[in-house]
């Protein structure tokens, strides 16, 4: 009996060893480096915890439920260069599962891009381990061994607590450049944060940065972008060349009337020359059948326009408005759940807003 | 102490009650009906278990790992009509979590469409409960109370074991019509099954059915569409007006050379007049950086073409070939993970293949 067990175990271990490692790279061939060795991209400000977006200690009067969102690593990426033929990662997140409308890769996984012929191009994903905080895996293999630039996007919905990047132990890896210019701060809801994108690099701020070369900074806070006074002060305090406000979806029509003017005036008072752009909410697809939701979104967008026009008519300069009607196209297929754009919806939204935003950034 | 606890509990229960139900519909107002009362759409054949796609007892020599895939409800939908102002569902799946590249809604949730002005339009989702087999929830509310047609898509990656549809207890609900014509059997991989679609109704077979009015039947089997002899016999045995073969991604270049001819000849021998369309594999985005994968996909697609041309040159009639080069566009943003199209990639693929397939169906 003991003998049989031992033989079985030997065969089992043998199968496991050759099955997993027989022809693959041995894990001892890979050397891991802390991501702090490299360049952080998309940071809104310096923070003690490297993967937080805001130093919430500095803005201590921000409500707790907003602070939680600001610990999530949406929009952050690590820039590095390597000639390794394979790239790996070990990372930890506070969450173990995704929400119902997101892939685990977007929620708590990684997304790798590389520059080819001057353009950022998708290169691989880091798949998180279901039910565990800690994940490890190959992002891409069988590369040609030339030195290339890489951008590794962090989870958009989970707090990232550690990240190491692995390359072949004979390869060279160094910090990359800051790839994007200027600072366009995007304050908004889950849609800004990246809900509905299939992977972290598909969040619309990240896609727009790659498309335009400008640095769209992700200040998306799922469900709670409601323009509170404390938040308005924080947004205004963040240094930026342009302020893009996509915060209509989370606020009630009444809150929009009460708070939009204050938000824009607060930003203006601290940033006399920066363009401020207010965007209407995406027309929630569910609102075409759910009449209450449809009516609410109409009122949100109407009130946002009314508040904008008050400021405009009062003579405030350098403020802009983007209508939301055509964000998602007309086939009603552009969302995951009737609210959050999927990659198709985001693609349409990016095509709709980019030509309106670029001239403002370039002015 | 006991008094304090009691007061706290009373307040807690009170808050819970009013918080959840204060202004919402009471669950006692909703009456549930088994989905078997209504019309099943997208069935490939009759099966004992209503949500299986194939009667695997009938094809007992199919390998076990393929049978498992055939128990998953990809492409199935329930057709019903109701004048209810809200629609709800209770359903069970065998899986409790999604895979890393899929949303829980697509993997094991529900997706509701309704017909508005003669077109199928998104109406709501059923969000599965993380970590549990059994889920329950509102799909849509605040409808106008007119009778409408609905299509409720089932999970694409999990086995569905039960489904009840709920409407207001004063509302009428009846079986709907079969909304789609003819039968286009689509045999293929995870891409056919719906991996990477953000919700069940976004699988490309389902989108093409809604777009064209033809019934694209989902015989996608994640990872295992390898044209085995037993499977070829099964595919050929399924009654269809057109056979669409999207099975290149899972087969090795060698398997493609060895098996493509047999698959097509087997289908032809049992279906002398039906058009048979062979599609190349999507060019895996990861293959642009992972040179080994890139080379493999090139060989897969070349071998598929070579095998097709042998049949064509041998005089076989009514067979067609679709090249895969332009399926995903040229910005490399069309996949979830470098392999599976996201909703954007599927949209491009549908635009590329529909004009090639429609004339064949219509001939």
Q: Do A337 and B199 touch (CB under 8 A)?
A: yes
Cα distance between residue B264 and residue A176, in whole Å: 51
Q: If you search the block for the tokens 């691989």, which residue do you land on?
A: A124
Query: Hey, how many other C-beta atoms are within 10 angstroms of the C-beta on A337?
Result: 26
Q: What is the pLDDT of residue A7?
A: 38
Cα–Cα nearest to A111, from A71, A85, A140, A143: A140
Angle at B332 between CA B186 and CA A164, to 5 degrees: 110
H or E segment at A103? none
Residue B153 pairs with which residues in a beta bridge?
Answer: B77, B111
Q: Which chain B positions have a beta carbon within 8 Å of A288's beta carbon? A: 116, 121
φ, ψ (nearest 5 deg) of residue B236:
-65, -30
Selecting from A121, A293, A333 the residue whose C-beta is nearest the C-beta of B122 gives: A333
Q: Do B121 and A291 touch (CB under 8 A)?
A: no
Q: Do B333 and A342 touch (CB under 8 A)?
A: no
Q: Which chain B positions have a beta carbon within 8 Å of A343's beta carbon? A: 198, 333, 342-345
pLDDT band of residue A24 (cuts 50, 70, 90) is: low
Cα distance between residue A283 and residue A293, in whole Å: 10
Selecting from B105, B122, B196 the residue whose C-beta is nearest the C-beta of A100 gives: B105
Q: How many helices (H) and strands (E) does chain A have?
A: 9, 15
Q: Which chain A positions have a beta carbon within 8 Å of B286's beta carbon? A: 122-124, 140
Q: What is the pLDDT of residues B44-103, one digit of tens each?
A: 999 999 999 999 899 999 999 999 999 999 999 999 999 999 999 999 999 999 999 999
H or E segment at B291? helix B291-313
Selecting from B98, B101, B202 the residue whose C-beta is nearest the C-beta of A333 gives: B202
Six token digits for residue A62 = 């921000």
**A202 CA: distance to closest CA in chain B (Å):** 8
Q: Which chain A positions have a beta carbon within 8 Å of B347's beta carbon? A: 333, 344
Cα distance between residue A85 and residue B106, in whole Å: 34
Q: What percent of chain A has pLDDT over 90?
A: 91
Q: What is chain B's length? A: 363
Interval B168-179 mean pLDDT: 98
Q: Do A198 and B202 touch (CB under 8 A)?
A: no
Q: Do A122 and B98 touch (CB under 8 A)?
A: no
Q: Do A124 and B338 touch (CB under 8 A)?
A: yes
Q: If you search the block for the tokens 């009650």, which residue do you land on?
A: B17
Q: Do B101 and A125 touch (CB under 8 A)?
A: yes
Interval A245-272 mean pLDDT: 98
Mutate to test the interface with A, among B87, B95, B103, B126 (most CBs of A within 10 A): B103
Q: Which chain B positions have a beta carbon within 8 Å of A131's beta carbon? A: 97
Q: Do B125 and A97 touch (CB under 8 A)?
A: no
Q: Are A253 and A299 in contact (CB under 8 A)?
A: yes
Q: Which chain B positions have a beta carbon within 8 Å of A140's beta carbon? A: 286, 289-290
Q: Which chain B positions have a beta carbon within 8 Å of A87's beta carbon? A: none
Q: What is the pLDDT of residues B109-157, one digit of tens each?
A: 999 999 999 999 999 999 999 999 999 999 999 999 999 999 999 999 9
| E strands, chain A, in order | 30-34, 39-41, 77-82, 87-93, 110-116, 119-126, 134-140, 148-153, 160-168, 173-175, 181-188, 214-220, 242-246, 276-279, 319-322
Cα distance between residue A78 and residue A35, in whole Å: 7
Q: What is the CA radius of gyration of chain B?
A: 23
Nearest CA in chain A to B287: A123
Q: Are B44 and B215 in contact (CB under 8 A)?
A: no
For residue A234, give the 3-state DSSP assignment: helix
Cα–Cα nearest to A304, from A236, A235, A257: A257
Cα distance between residue A98 and residue B273, in whole Å: 48
Q: Are B84 and B130 in contact (CB under 8 A)?
A: no
B28, with CB counted inside 10 A (0-12, 13-18, 19+), is exposed
Q: Do A289 and B98 touch (CB under 8 A)?
A: no
Selecting from B99, B101, B123 the residue whose C-beta is nearest the C-beta of A289 gives: B123
H or E segment at B33? strand B30-34
On the question of pLDDT at B23 being above 60, the answer is: no
Residues 6+ apart with CB under 8 A from A83: A145, A146, A147, A148, A171, A172
User: What ipTM is given for this predicted complex?
Assistant: 0.92
Q: Do B140 and A337 touch (CB under 8 A)?
A: no
Q: Which chain A positions have a beta carbon within 8 Å of B207's beta carbon? A: 333
Q: Are A353 and A311 in contact (CB under 8 A)?
A: no
Nearest CA in chain B to A345: B344
Q: What is chain A's length? A: 363
Q: What is the pLDDT of residues A159-191, one digit of tens each?
A: 999 999 999 999 999 999 999 999 999 999 999
Q: What is the pLDDT of residues B213-224, one digit of tens each?
A: 999 999 999 999
Domains and CATH numbers, chain B: 28-175 (2.60.120.260), 181-362 (3.40.50.1110)
Selecting from A100, A130, A344 the residue whose C-beta is nearest the C-beta of B109 gives: A100
Cα–Cα nearest to B307, from B251, B237, B360: B251
Mutate to test the interface with A, among B104, B109, B157, B343 (most CBs of A within 10 A): B343
φ, ψ (nearest 5 deg) of residue B13:
-65, -40
Nearest CA in chain A to B86: A290
On the question of pLDDT at A225 being above 90, the answer is: yes
Selecting from B121, B286, B342 the residue whose C-beta is nearest the C-beta of A288 gives: B121
Q: What is the pLDDT of residue A25?
A: 63
Q: Are A208 and A244 in contact (CB under 8 A)?
A: no
Residues 6+ apart with CB under 8 A from B343: A198, A333, A342, A343, A344, A345, B196, B197, B198, B202
Residue A126 pairs with which residues in a beta bridge?
Answer: A110
Selecting from A103, A130, A285 the residue whose C-beta is nearest the C-beta of B336 gives: A103
Q: What is the pLDDT of residue B28?
A: 75
Q: Are A190 and A335 in contact (CB under 8 A)?
A: no
Inter-chain CB pairs, A–B, below 8 Å: 160
Q: Are A233 and A266 in contact (CB under 8 A)?
A: yes
Q: What is the pLDDT of residue A220?
A: 98
Residues 6+ apart with CB under 8 A from B268: B276, B316, B319
Q: Which chain A positions have a beta carbon within 8 Å of B102's beta carbon? A: 103
Q: What is the pLDDT of residue B25?
A: 63
φ, ψ (nearest 5 deg) of residue A76:
-85, 145
SS3 content of chain A, % helix, strand, coil (to 5): 35, 25, 40
SS3 content of chain B, % helix, strand, coil (to 5): 35, 25, 40
Interval B1-7 mean pLDDT: 39
Q: What percent of chain B has pLDDT over 70?
A: 93
Q: What is the pLDDT of residue A326?
A: 85
Q: Do B337 and A100 touch (CB under 8 A)?
A: no
φ, ψ (nearest 5 deg) of residue B305:
-65, -45
Q: What is the pLDDT of residue A119?
A: 97
Q: Which chain A positions have a beta carbon within 8 Å of B290's beta carbon? A: 124, 140-143
**A272 CA: distance to closest CA in chain B (Å):** 38
Query: Hey, how many other C-beta atoms are within 10 angstroms of the C-beta on A178?
Result: 13
H or E segment at B30? strand B30-34
What letter does residue B333 receive in the DSSP assignment? -
Q: What is the pLDDT of residues B250-263, one digit of tens each?
A: 999 999 999 999 99
> What's the gap between Cα B101 and its chain centre?
15
Q: Which chain B positions have a beta carbon within 8 Å of A332's beta carbon? A: 121-122
Cα distance between residue B158 and residue B96, in whole Å: 9
In Å, how far are A363, B36, B241 from B360, measured between CA atoms? 52, 34, 10
Mutate to test the interface with A, among B328, B333, B338, B341 (most CBs of A within 10 A): B333
Q: Which chain A positions have a beta carbon within 8 Å of B336's beta carbon? A: 103, 105, 125, 198-199
Q: Which chain B positions have a beta carbon within 8 Å of A116's beta carbon? A: 288-289
**DSSP string across B37-79:** GSEEES-SS--SSTT-SS-TTTTTTS-HHHHHHHTS-TT-EEE
Q: Which chain A positions have a beta carbon within 8 Å of B344's beta carbon? A: 342-344, 346-347
Q: What is the pLDDT of residues A324-346, one digit of tens each?
A: 988 999 999 999 999 999 999 99
Strands lying side by side in the sheet with A276-279 = A214-220, A181-188, A242-246, A276-279, A319-322
Nearest CA in chain B to A128: B100
Q: Do B144 and A291 touch (CB under 8 A)?
A: yes
Q: What is the pLDDT of residues A27-81, one digit of tens each?
A: 779 999 999 999 999 999 999 999 999 998 999 999 999 999 999 999 999 999 9
Q: How many helices (H) and strands (E) does chain B have?
A: 9, 15
What rounded mean pLDDT belongs to chain B?
Answer: 93
Selecting from B97, B142, B202 the residue whose C-beta is nearest the C-beta of A293 gives: B142
pLDDT band of residue B283 (cuts 50, 70, 90) is: confident
**DSSP string across A243-299:** EEEE-TTTS-HHHHHHHHHHHHHHHHHH-TT--EEEEPPP--GGGGT-HHHHHHHHH
Q: Do A337 and B142 touch (CB under 8 A)?
A: no
pLDDT band of residue B16 (cuts 50, 70, 90) is: very low
**DSSP string across B246-272:** E-TTTS-HHHHHHHHHHHHHHHHHH-T
Taking the C-alpha atoms of B249, B251, B254 and B258 in order, what is their torsion angle to the nearest 10 degrees? Answer: -120
Q: Do A103 and B105 touch (CB under 8 A)?
A: no
**B266 CA: distance to closest CA in chain A (Å):** 35
Q: What is the pLDDT of residue B22?
A: 36
Query: Hey, how many other C-beta atoms are within 10 angstroms of the C-beta on A229?
Result: 12
């Amino acid at each position: 009996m003991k003998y049989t067990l031992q033989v079985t175990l030997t065969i089992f271990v043998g199968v496991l060893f050759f099955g997993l490692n027989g022809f693959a790279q041995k894990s001892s061939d890979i050397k891991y480096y802390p991501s702090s060795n490299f360049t952080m991209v998309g940071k809104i400000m310096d923070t003690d915890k490297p993967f937080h977006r805001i130093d919430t200690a500095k803005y201590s009067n921000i409500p707790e439920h907003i602070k939680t969102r600001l610990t999530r690593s949406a929009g952050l990426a690590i820039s590095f260069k390597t000639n390794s033929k394979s790239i790996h990662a070990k990372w930890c997140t506070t969450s173990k599962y995704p929400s119902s409308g997101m892939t685990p890769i977007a929620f708590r996984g990684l997304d790798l891009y590389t520059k080819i012929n001057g353009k950022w191009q998708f290169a691989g994903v880091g798949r998180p381990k279901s039910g565990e905080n800690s994940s490890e895996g190959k992002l891409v293999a069988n590369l040609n061994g030339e030195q290339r630039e890489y951008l590794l996007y962090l989870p958009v919905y989970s707090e990232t607590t550690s990240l190491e990047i692995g390359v072949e132990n004979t390869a060279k890896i160094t910090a990359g450049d800051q790839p994007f210019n200027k600072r366009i701060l995007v304050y908004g809801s889950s849609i800004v944060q990246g809900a509905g994108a299939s992977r972290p690099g598909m969040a619309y701020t990240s896609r727009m940065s790659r498309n335009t070369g400008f640095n769209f900074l992700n200040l998306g806070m799922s469900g709670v972008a409601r323009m509170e006074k404390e938040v308005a002060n924080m947004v205004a305090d963040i240094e930026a060349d342009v302020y893009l406000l996509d915060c209509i979806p989370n606020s009630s029509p009444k809150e929009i009337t009460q708070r939009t003017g204050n938000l824009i005036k607060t930003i203006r008072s601290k940033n006399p020359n920066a363009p401020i752009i207010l965007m209407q909410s995406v027309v929630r697809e569910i609102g075409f059948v759910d009449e209450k939701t449809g009516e609410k979104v109409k009122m949100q967008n109407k009130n946002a326009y009314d508040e904008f026009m008050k400021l405009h008519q009062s003579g405030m300069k350098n403020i802009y408005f983007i209508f939301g009607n055509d964000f998602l196209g007309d086939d009603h297929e552009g969302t995951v759940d009737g609210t959050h754009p999927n990659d198709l919806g985001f693609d349409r939204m990016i095509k709709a807003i980019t030509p309106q935003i670029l001239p403002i950034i370039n002015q």
